[in-house]
Every structure is written in C-alpha cells, then in structure tokens.
Amino acid sequence: MIVCVAVVGHQNNPLYIQSFTDADDALKLHHIVHCSLDVIEERVNNPKRSGTTLNEAFLGLLYPTVNYKVYGYLTNTKVKFILVTTDLDVRDTDVRSFFRKFHAAYVDAVSNPFHVPGKKITSRTFAQTVSNIVGSYGLN
Amino acid sequence: MEEYPEELRTPPVSLVALFGYSELQASISKHLHSQQPPINALAFPDFSHISLLLVPDDQSSVASSFRDPLSVSDSSSPVPARCGGILKRDWLLKHRTKVPALVAAFFPSHHIFGDPTQWLQVCSDLDSLKSVIRPKNIKLVVVVVQSSPQEEISEDRLVALRKRAELDSKYVIFFNSSIDSELSVSLSRIASAFAELALAYYREEGRRIKSRVEKRSSNSPDLNVRYCFKVAVYAEFHRDWAEALKFYEDAYHSLHEMIGTSTRLPAIQRLVEIKTIAELLHFKISTLLLHGGKLIEAVTWFHQHKASYEKVVGSTEFIFLHWDWMSRQFLVFAELLETSSATAQGFSSLNQGTAEISLTEFEFYPAYYYQLAAQYLKDKKCALELLLSMSETAQEINSCSESITPSGYVGQFAQLLEKGEGEALTFHSITDEEYTRYTISEAKRFQDSFEIIAWLKRSYESFTNLKAGRMAARCAFEVGREYFDLADPNNAKKYFDIAANFYRQEGWVTLLWEVLGYLRECSRNLGALKDFVELSLEMVVLPVTSYDDSGNLKNKNYGPGGPATFSGRESIHQEIFTLLCREAELLSSIGGNGFKLATDSPLHLEIDLVSPLRPVLLASVAFHEQIIKPHAMCSITLSLLSHLPLPVEIDHLEVQFNQSMCNFVIRNSQRPLWATSSNTVQSGSQVENEPSLVLVPNNWLRLTYAINSEQSGKLECLSVLAKLGPLFTISSRAESPAAMEDLSVWKHENRVESLPTKDPVLAVFGQKATQVDELEPQVDVSLGASGPALVGEDFTLPIVVTSKGHAVYNGELKINLVDVGGGGLFSPRETEPFSLESHHVEICGIDGAEGNDESESETGNIKKIQQSFGLVSVPDLKEGESWSCKLEIKWHRPKPVMLFVSLGYLPHGSEDNTQKVHIHKSLQIEGKMPLLISSQFMLPYRRDHLLLNKIKPAPDSEDMSSLPLNEKSVLVVRAKNCSEIALKLVSMSIELDDKQGETSCLIHQGGGCGDSPSSANLAPGEEFKKVFTVIPITRTSKLDLGSVHLKWRRQGSNITEACVLTKHKLPEVIVEASPLVMNLSCPPYAILGEPFTCAVRICNQTQLLQEAKFALADAQSFVLSGSHSNTISVLPKSEHVLSYKLVPLTCGEQQLPKITLTSARYSAEFQPSAVASSVFVLPSASHAKKTNSTVK
C-alpha cells in the first residue's frame, strides 16, 4: 500500500506532500521523505556507484526503513517524486508505471497558466488525480 | 558488541601446554605468542601438576541434573536421551584456555642420557602424561634441553625415548639455550613443530565431529547445530575460514528450522535460546565476511538475517524482548561495520547489480544501523513501559527473580537453588512466567534512553561526516526528543537547534513547526522568556495554512507544538500577545505561562535580514528622491508587512537613520502615551500622529512623511522600531524595496503579493538611502598661469584663495598633477640619462604667501609635497580676505600636464557637525622645449684626409662622423630658440664629462676674439652659433666630446633669478689617423686669362710605401696643363707634389678640375670636397687689387 507521495522542488523544498494513512504518522512520513532527499543527492552526485543510469528518471529504491520502503524519481527539471510504501515485495515495473502516471499528472498541474513555477501545488484536480493513481496502484 | 565474551569476539588462538623447565617457559611462551599466527601457552612447572591439566569443569559437576554430551569424555555415547541445550556456554572458553592442542614435555638431557634412575623417572612421567592426554587425542612433543651443544647423546636412549613416547623423530626436539644463536634456532624449531601439531590436532578434531554431522544428519537438530558450530570453530582454529563460514551457515540454517519444531523448553524460553544462538552465529558469520572484505555479502547476509527473524516475534505480550533483540542485531552489525576495514575502502568498487537484494547507499554505513538500532530500542522502551503500566504486580516481580541466572547453556536461564546448607548448588529449569518476570526486572534496571541517545549521536556524527544533512538532522531531532523525554531541556535544546537550523534552510514547514514546538517547550521549561517569545513568533509566522485539525489535537504523535494548522498559529499568537501586551496593572501578576514579566525588564527583539523572525515585521523604506538639497523637505515612504495570523496594533513606531537628527516617531493616537520614552529618539525630534497603526496580516501598512536633513552626505534609514505594549519592542532592519529579498519560508507559498509602495517605480527602484548635497562654496580659487612652461626651468604658478561670503577655517589645499595623456607622469621605457629622475614633471615646492613663514612653524599645519601631489594648509581667512601661494613645477621633458587643485574648508569655525565644503579647479599647462641645439663638424680647408672609416664605414658607426688624429677640426654648435618667448642666453660652453675625454682631445673656443659674445638675446626663432676647435690626440673609435652646457633665462626676468642650465650631449666621433693627406694649394683667387699654378700635395703619413693613382677630370672653365692620370709612389713620411698650370676661361666662382686619388693599398678612392676645390675668377687684375684693399 502506498502511504505517502511527495513532490519536492529543485531546491529541495516540498511542493506537494500527501499521506494516505488513517494513522497519524504524517509527520513521520514527512521525516522519511525529507531524509530520502539525502539518498537522491548521493545517488545523483555519484552516478557510478549506483546501478541506475543517468538517462533514467526512475531512481529505484532509495532506502528501506523499519516499516517502509522509499522509491524516488527525478525529472529533467530536478523535481523529485518520492513514494513511500509499506509493501515488502515491490515489483519495479509497478513503481515505474506509478511514477510515469504521477509525472504526467504533475506535468498537467504545472502546465496550468495560473501556476507559478516553484510554488506549491495547490490544485485540487492534481490531488484528485494523485489519489486515483494511488488507489489504482498495484491492482493491475 | 562488548557484551559478547572475548573468546567469541576474537579469532581462536591455538593452545599448547608446557611441562617442566619453568625457567625456560617464559621465553618460550613469549616467543610462541609473537608467532604469526600466535600460539597461547599454558605453563606447568613440573610433572606433578599433570593432574591440573584437563581438570573437569566446576559447572559440569554442578549441573549434574543434565547429562553433558559436550564433554569429550562422553563422546562414546553421543546420543543423549534428552538434550539440555544447544550450545554449552563455556565450551569455547574451554578450548581457548584449558584444553591444549598439544603437550610439550621438557626434559634435561642428562636425565635422559645419564643416570638410569633419572631415566626411569622420565619414563614414568611420560607414561602418566600419556595416560592423561591419549583419550583426548592431544598431541605430545618431547623437548630435550641441552646445556651445551657438545653434550654426549646416546643413540640407544634416544630410540628408547621415542618408543616410550610413541613419537616420530621430528617431535623429539633438542633445545639448546646456552648460546644465543642456538636459542633462536631452537625456538623457531619448537614454534614450527607446535604450530604443525596444533593444526593437525584441530583438523583431526574437526574431521571427527564433521563425520558425526555427516553420519546422522536426520537425528536431533540440536546436535546438528552443535556439531556444525564445533566444526566451524575447529576450522577457525586451523584457519580454514571458508569451511568455518560454511559450517556456521549450516548451523544457522538448521537452527532456523528448529523454530517451529523444537519442543524442549517452554515456548518463550525456547525462542529466546534459538534467537540467542542465531545472534551468535550471525555475529560469527558477519565477522568472517567482513574480515574477508566481502562487504556486499555481509550486508546481504544481514538483510537475510533480519528478514528471517523480523517476524519471529514470539509472545506479543512480551514483544519488548523481540525489539530488544532486533535492536541488538542492528547495533552489533553497526559496530562490526565501523570496526571492519572493509568499510574504510568505501564501496566505490562495489557493483550492486550482482547482489540479489538491491542495496542502497546508506546501508553500507554504520550510521544507518545505529539509527535503526536506536529506533528498535525505542520500540522496546515503549513496549516495556506499556507492559509495566499494565502489570499490577511490579512489586512482586522484583522479589522473586533474584536467584535466576544464566545457566550452562547459551541462551538459557535457570534458577540457582541451594540444596541444603553448603556448596551444593543446582540449576532448576524455570517456567516462562518466572523467566519473563526475571527479564522484566532485568530490563527495568537499564536506562534505555541513554543508549538510544548514544547511538543516535553516533549516527548523527556519522551522517554529518557523510554530508547527509537531512539524515543527520533527523537523528539530531530524535536525540533532542529523547532528551526532552528525559526532562533535560538544555541538551534537548542543543539538538533541536541543530535540526531547526537545517529545516529552516529547506523550508520544510511541518518539520520545522514540530521542532520549534519542542524548542518552545524547552525554553519555557528553562524560563528563557526571550527565546520563548522568539520561537513562538517564528512558529506563528510559518506559512502553515492548513485548517485541518479534525480533532487529532490529543494525538501524542504530535510534539508539544500541536499539529501544524492555522488555528495552532492563531492560538500561539494569542498566547504570546496576551503575555506581552498586558496592561500595566497586570504586569506583576504571573501569567499562565509561568513567566513573570517585570516592569524593569523590557523585551526587545532585533530582526535582521537573515533572522527567521523577518516575516514578523518586514520594514521597507524608500526615499522619493535620490539626491536632496540640505534643509529641503524630502518624502519618505515607510511600508510594513507582517505575516502574523491576526492583526496587531502598534503603539508607536520609531524610524532611525544614520543621522540621528533625522529620527522621528509615529504615534498611534488611539493609544495612551507611555511615560517611558525611548533613548534612540532625541527629545524634540519630529513626531507624527496617525489615527491607527494596525498591521493586518499580509497587507502592507504604507506611511509617507516628509523629513529634512541638514548634514550633507549619505542619509540612510537603519531600522524601524515598533513598540507593542509597554515593554515589548521589535526592531526591524530597514530594507530598500529595490533590494528586498523574498522571505525564505514564504517564497514557495501561493499568495497574493502586493508592492510595498503604491508607486510601482518606487517599489522597483526605491532605496532606503539618499544623498544630501553639500553647501554651495562661496570661496574662489584662481590659478594664474602665464603661458607655457619651459623644460628645465622652475615654473611658478600662483594660486589665490579669495573668500567671497564664507570664512575659511581648517582650509586644506590639495594639488594633483596628472598626465593629460593618462599614461602617468613616469614612463619606464624611456632610458635616456636624464629621465632617470622618475617623473617627467614634478612639483618642486610650494612657496607660501607673504607672512606665511610664521604659520608654517605652527604645529598642525600640513605641508606635504610629493612629486605629483601636494597638500598645503590654508590659514583661516575671514570674509573678503584672500591668501595666495606659489606652486613651483619643473618639467624634465616637454609634456602637457593637468593640474588639479581642490580646496576643502569649514565655513563655520570649529563646529564639529558641519561638513567641509569643497571647490575644485583644474588647469592644463603645456611644457615646451626652449632651445634646439645642434652641432656640426668641419675639417680643415683644402686639406683632405683619407679617412678609411668614411669610405668603408664600420657596421655600427654609420651615423658617427670621423675626425683625423692630431688635426684641428672645427665644431659649430647652434642653439635655436624654438619657444614663443624671448630668451636670454647667458653662456655656452663645452664641458667634458670625464677625465678620459680631457686626455683624448683638446677643445678650444673658436675664434678667440670677442666678436662672438658668450651672451646673446634670442628672439623666438633666432639662432645662436658658436665655433669650437677640436684636436683629437688619441686614436679611438669612440671619442666622447662631452656636452654643451647652455645657460639661459627668460628675457626681462629678474637678473638675480638663477639661470637655467640646459645640457646637450654632443655626438660621439671616431678618431683615426689618416694614411694619406691631400693638400690642395691654390691661390685665393684667379684672374681671367691669367695662368696660375695649382699644386696637389700628396703626403704619406705612414711608414710604408704608398702607391697612389690619380685622375684629373677636365673642367670647362679652365685650360689645364699637367698629367691627367698616372700612378705614383709616395715614399714613407714624404710628399709627392703634382703641379698644374691653369688658365681660367670664365669669371665667377669656378670649380677647379676635379682630382680623384685612389690608394692602391687601401683600395680607397677620395676626392677633395666641392667647396674646397673651387676658386673665384676675377675679370681683371684691378678687381683683384680692389678686393685685396677692401679685405684689408
């Protein structure tokens, strides 16, 4: 189950962060998302060490914590997408397809002429699309 | 890791026992210990101690209720009916410290080869030793100690000894300690034999147990685990790491299979035993992997280990046991990683693609494991607290757990009961209930918090070193939270500050809110009011806009700051402002916050450009004009913005400038006047009244006022101070609208942004500073220049300072000379001798005006002169007075120069606050050459020298003229006035520059009579000539003739004034002796038709015979008789005369027939000059007489 998704700007500022749990661990998820930025930085700065190639936006598993797994995705504009899940075995293809859909939703949201680049995403349509994507995750 | 026994943490070391010869044992033990790999030695002084070897365990005798399958003596019956446990606690220790791999018996050689009774003693010792060690397969070595190498050896006895000991000959070793060289040989021999035998022993033991594993693999899983473990340990003893690893892994896997199947112990204890052994095996495996440098394998192994046991929780009631165990796994692995050398090399060479489980970057660092260990321990702490709060029988637990101790098996606990009175102690197995009580009481003794803090701190440091700031911030936050729970606000604050500083930079508002909430609580507990207010205000102005607080305020997942919502901001805002802005009568009462706000301790907050409190009060100040006149009113717009969630009313505002005279106050007329006046605004300064001063959230409060300044220079608004209530003031640094930066936390928010001023131009370009002009100067400075300056003279320039309305005080005149070309007054490329003086134009002096001499002596009068800069103090002048001085400038080269003069003065005496008024003047002055000096050489008339240099010039002397040696040559020096000023020439002379010149030539003034005056007036353009004679007396290729010294001054100037000396260097000449001289002798004039004789004398001045060829060209105006061409020989130092008779045919100046002489020796041709070889032909003799008479 996906418990949290986040969009982080290129200055590592949060643009959108939404958790999908009933329990009140939103704060903990914020911490996890924030810490995973370190891994992204490390991976982007030292591309040799990681298996992922430079051309790929999908960064793979960022780091496992006690109960969660964190996946990352980096767009060309240095906007990061982060996914936190509680699933233990995650198929890479699922995560990839999730990020692809998520990226498309993000592009739609920032293409809004009233959106100022670099500001937080407050679009309700975006939130709705994201929750749909999250809901459909892992079903297929 | 330290909690493991040492034998487990270190690799196994072989053990040997030494018998006899106690004096040798120390050195042998030492030597064995220093071997690679080392060997430990047990030393027994003599054979009477044989019984001490392999003393049975105390423990095993005590635990008599169990059968002991581990002790080797039981190996004959290896299948016990009921197994007591998996691993015996002291088995490894026994092999490390008690059971040797071999026994070495030391005998002196004379005991063996000497007396038969002693030989018998040796035999009996050997027998008893053999009886002890044989059942355990322990190896034997006999060492014969010789006192000297020459000692006699009986071969028979030696054979008998070998037989008796049943030893191969190489294990009977001779040891000689008497000689040093022998000693080291013997020692190494012993060491190698020992190592070999120990290895064999461990290998055999391992093989023996391994065969058991292979034979009965299906039987008891307990035994299988145990045997695998033993084989692995023996493999470690004989350093077969691969096999050790394999068997440890086998043991681990067999153990994991036991989880569901074993029924030997009560459920909880069973699991505890399995987990303990799993931990032990895991530790061994990880250690082996890491020491082998297999970092990826180790990390992958750890993952598997974690995954296999993560869900093996056991009883959920006592889950804390599981968390404790998990936390220990992470901690131990973290410590292993930290100490292992594999991590030091980094993982740059690792290829993660090969690993089955994809590993992430930080899983290779201990920090990650420390952090998770702390997290699990925290879980354990929570679980334990929950358990304790639920259990009512906490008191009871304490009482009955005293006698429980770890039993003889790893991972088991038993009750130690005293049987009867005396030493008989027995272990009794315990029930799960007893066991849990025991563990709870044990767990209560530990302060988990300190462990958690220690590990998190380590993690924090490690992450900081890895430059993983966010991970480190999180660890710092967790440390702070742990300290906060321990009620240690000082330490908590330290770590929360670290985290808060990081979150501030990145704008993670929810995280920052959380940390600030804790920090606020810390400062409340510490009683730090200012911190409390600052932190509260910072929280209040965070861009938290979510309204969602659906009843989860009570959830303890939130910190003391509550959830980050808009209502949270509002409530903190209200709390703070009720605390700070209470009415005067309530001041002494103690608020709900526990802070006492005393009347005499006002609270003042400074907000600068980087302060996180900047959104509380943002002050933008813009002057409407960039330059203002002194005393004129100027508009200034003050815009204030606040991000506080609720409107705030300001009592008064103080605007502060760098010129404190301009400070002013804006007063809210609805508020009462506070008696306490501020110290920043002087009494009597400007006060403005506003009907209301309310800061509405996210709306600019714009105020425009007029101010004036009397002081010239920069006028800058420094800060705006807002007073809220009687004691609370906030001072915010003023900012220019043009250079205002976004608020760091608010810049990513979606909100309506408005301009600080209504005028958009001012909002974009407005500045918080303006320039106040100076007063108009009312003093005149005039520079009187009289035409161009001449090079070499002291050019004087009068400067007159005239007061026209201002008095002059503390006047200072600055003089600057600047090259008009801009290239400076000095050009280093010029290398002519007189440009060695670095400046081409320089100020020589400043001559003060009349009566200035006394003021110069006054102290404090400045008079500094440098080559292009001068500073003169001007005496105080009253209105209408004037003062003048003369500036002397000297030109070394013709050059136009710009002269800048600036006068700075105070118009009103010595008032401190007034500023100096400046007047600037400039003048361009041309520097010109006064005289052009040229020179010319003339050779004697009608006397031509063959100067070889003239005909074939040397390559470097093209421009140089040649002079004949010892001949009188004429030098004409001309001086032309090329300036526009009439000059008076005082004298002209040639001065030789050095002594060599004096000896090499003689120079005389030409003429010698008075008709060439040494002084003359030269109008512009006029030329003055002077003739000198030069007789070179030394032959040289470079004759320095010195230079012309010309003294002159401006015409009409004062005679007393010094003349200017201009020097002109004469060109250098070549002096050579001419081998041939051709003299033309001819009458001074000729008469038409009258013949006259003309002779050409060719004089040979050398010691050689000169052959000369001459040719005479016909001339139209003469009839000539004589040989036209011929070759003649001139004898050394003699003369040859060619004589011609000529009849002139034409009147006037006529060219004589031209003779050309060619010297054969020098193959040089020369002719007399045209001027010299002409003659004037008179029409008749009467003319000649007339001419003669006029000449006379």
CA distance B297 to chain A (A): 17
Q: Could you confirm whether domain B1-54+99-215 is CATH 3.40.50.10140?
A: yes
Per residue in B963-1010, pLDDT (tens digit) is 787 778 888 888 888 888 888 888 888 887 666 656 677 777 765 444
Residue spans of the domains in chain B: they are 1-54+99-215, 220-467, 490-586, 605-674+681-745+755-772, 779-923, 931-1072, 1076-1191
Check residue A78 and give its pLDDT: 87
User: Which tokens in the block code for residue B570?
Assistant: 């509002």
Check residue B979 and give its pLDDT: 81
The highest-confidence range among B174-178, B576-580, B818-822, B1166-1170, by mean pLDDT, is B576-580
Radius of gyration, CA atoms only, chain A: 14
Most A CBs within 10 Å: which of B368, B471, B516, as the mutation test of the A interface? Answer: B471
Per residue in B878-927, pLDDT (tens digit) is 888 888 888 888 888 787 888 888 888 887 766 555 677 888 888 888 88
Question: Is pLDDT of B857 > 70?
Answer: no
What gap in Å lies between CA B996 and CA B1080, rounded to an integer?
35
Question: Is pLDDT of B283 > 50?
Answer: yes
B743 touches chain A (CB under 8 A): no
Which one-letter DSSP state was computed for residue B729? E
**Are the beta carbons of B293 and B346 closer than 8 angstroms?**
no
User: Which tokens in the block code for residue B354?
Assistant: 């090969």
Question: Is pLDDT of B734 > 50?
Answer: yes
A39 chain-B contacts, CB cut-off 8 A: 360-362
Check residue B585 and give its pLDDT: 44
User: Which tokens in the block code for residue A64?
Assistant: 């496992």
With 0-12 / 13-18 / 19 or more C-beta atoms within 10 angstroms meaning exposed / middle / buried, residue B1054 is exposed
Mean pLDDT for the stretch of residues B679-708: 79
Residues facing B105 on adjacent strands: B19, B142
B1017 touches chain A (CB under 8 A): no
Length reported for chain A: 140
What gap in Å lies between CA B313 and CA B271, rounded to an integer?
9
Q: Which residue has the higher pLDDT, B831 or B199?
A: B199
Check residue B348 and give its pLDDT: 43
Q: Which residue has the higher pLDDT, B1000 or A63?
A: A63
Matching fold, domains B1-54+99-215 and B1076-1191: no
* Chain-chain contact of A12 with B506 (C-beta, under 8 angstroms): yes
User: B931-1072 belongs to which CATH class?
Assistant: mainly beta
* Chain-chain contact of B748 with A13 (C-beta, under 8 angstroms): yes
CA distance B435 to chain A (A): 28
- Of the candidate ranges B139-153, B388-402, B420-434, B573-587, the one whose mean pLDDT is the lowest: B388-402
What gap in Å lies between CA B402 and CA B242, rounded to an integer?
43
| Nearest chain B residue to A43, by CA | B361
Closest CA to B978 of B1024, B1042, B1015: B1024
What gap in Å lies between CA B262 and CA B266, rounded to an integer?
10
Which one-letter DSSP state was computed for residue B101? S
A-to-B residue pairs, Cβ atoms closer than 8 angstroms: 93
Per residue in B406-433, pLDDT (tens digit) is 777 777 777 766 655 555 566 667 777 7
Q: Is the dihedral of CA B835, B837, B843, B844 positive or negative?
A: negative
What gap in Å lies between CA B770 and CA B439, rounded to an integer?
77
Length reported for chain B: 1192
Per residue in B751-779, pLDDT (tens digit) is 777 788 888 888 888 888 888 877 777 78
What is the CATH superfamily name and number for domain B779-923? Immunoglobulins (2.60.40.10)
Check residue B958 and give its pLDDT: 59
Mean pLDDT for the stretch of residues B692-720: 85
Per residue in A71-82, pLDDT (tens digit) is 999 888 889 999
Average per-residue pLDDT in chain B?
77
What gap in Å lies between CA B628 and CA B235, rounded to an integer?
94
**Are the beta carbons of B314 and B322 closer than 8 angstroms?**
yes
Count CB-CB contacts under 10 A for residue B142.
21
**Are the beta carbons of A6 and A16 closer than 8 angstroms?**
yes
Per residue in A108-138, pLDDT (tens digit) is 999 989 888 888 888 889 999 999 998 887 6
Please state, for a pLDDT cut of 90, what percent of chain B lies above it: 1
Check residue B80 and give its pLDDT: 37
3-state secondary structure of B753: coil
User: B605-674+681-745+755-772 belongs to which CATH class?
Assistant: mainly beta
Check residue B685 and give its pLDDT: 72
Question: Is pLDDT of B509 > 60?
Answer: yes
Tokens 């060695």 label which residue? Answer: B836
| Nearest chain A residue to B375, by CA | A66
Question: Of the CATH numbers 1.10.260.40, 3.30.450.40, 2.60.120.920, 2.60.40.10, which one belongs to the domain with range B1076-1191?
Answer: 2.60.40.10
Nearest to A49 among B361, B477, B509 (CB): B361
Per residue in B1012-1021, pLDDT (tens digit) is 556 678 888 8
**Could you tell me the pLDDT band of residue B9, with boundaries at 50, 70 and 90?**
confident
Radius of gyration, CA atoms only, chain B: 59
Which one-letter DSSP state was computed for residue B808? B
Check residue A107 and give its pLDDT: 93
Nearest to A63 among B360, B510, B750 (CB): B360
Check residue B59 and give its pLDDT: 40
Check residue B132 and give its pLDDT: 80
Closest CA to B697 of B641, B751, B649: B641
| Nearest chain A residue to B546, by CA | A122
**Could you tell me the pLDDT band of residue B68, with boundaries at 50, 70 and 90?**
very low
Pairing of strands B618-623, B633-641: antiparallel
ipTM: 0.92
Mean pLDDT for the stretch of residues B109-125: 80
CA count, 13 A, side-chain hemisphere, B255: 30
Mean pLDDT for the stretch of residues B35-49: 77
- Of the candidate ranges B206-210, B282-286, B539-543, B940-944, the one whose mean pLDDT is the lowest: B940-944
Question: Is pLDDT of B523 > 80?
Answer: yes
**CATH no. of A2-136:** 3.30.450.70
- Of the candidate ranges B66-75, B497-506, B853-862, B1152-1161, the one whose mean pLDDT is the lowest: B66-75
- Non-local CB neighbours of B156 within 8 Å, separated by 6+ positions: none
Question: Is pLDDT of A7 > 60?
Answer: yes
Nearest to A60 among B358, B511, B558 (CB): B358
